[in-house]
Amino acid sequence: MSADTDALVPVAWMSKDGKRIAFRRHRDYCTPLYGVDTIERLTRERDEARQVCAEAYQVVGVLLDETGQFETEHGTKILDNLSEHRPIHDDVLPWENSNAIEQAVARERERWESALTIAAGMAEEHKHRADDVGRLAHAVMSAIRATKAPT
């Protein structure tokens, strides 16, 4: 027997109903390597994995942005892997977080402090307006009483 006739060679075969079936060729006959059910299951699992990668891409992108790492080399590599649905960069792990979380917390604290300062200023402004409205109402009531007073 020659090496050519004994070799297992993967080939694709299309069935009459249009479904692809993988075969392996051994000498002069074909035996199924994967059935239609297996191919459909693997295709479904691939599609589900791609969907999970797309969802993870969105979540990771937001988290990278919130921690100030969106435009870093490390952040770009993980997003590349997720968008390609495969590891094109093998040096993503270990993740170098440094002090990104502390920086994000500090930014969030500054944002809230700024918002509270603005709110306090608006409250003070409303207090002065309320005082002005109170004085105006008092003046109007005094004027109404004065016009009703007997002379």
Question: What's the mean pLDDT in 35-40?
Answer: 78
pTM of the predicted model, to two decimals? 0.46
Instruction: Specify the pLDDT at position 55.
Output: 93
In angstroms, the CA 46 to CA 41 distance is 9
In angstroms, the CA 50 to CA 60 distance is 15
Q: Which residue has the higher pLDDT, 109 or 31?
A: 109
In angstroms, the CA 8 to CA 130 distance is 90
**Cα dihedral sign for 104, 109, 110, 115?**
positive
Position 101: which residue type? I
Instruction: Specify the pLDDT at position 79.
Output: 93
Confirm if 22 and 12 have CB atoms less than 8 A apart. yes
Helix 73-84 / helix 36-66 crossing angle, nearest 10 deg: 160
Write the pLDDT tens digit of every residue in 39-90. Answer: 888 889 999 999 999 999 999 999 888 887 888 888 899 999 999 988 899 8
Write the pLDDT tens digit of every residue in 6-30. Answer: 455 555 555 666 666 655 555 545 5
Instruction: Specify the pLDDT at position 145.
Output: 72
Q: Would you say residue 127 has pLDDT above 80?
A: no
Instruction: Specify the pLDDT at position 97.
Output: 65
Position 32: which residue type? P
Question: What's the mean pLDDT in 123-144?
Answer: 74
Confirm if 61 and 70 have CB atoms less than 8 A apart. yes
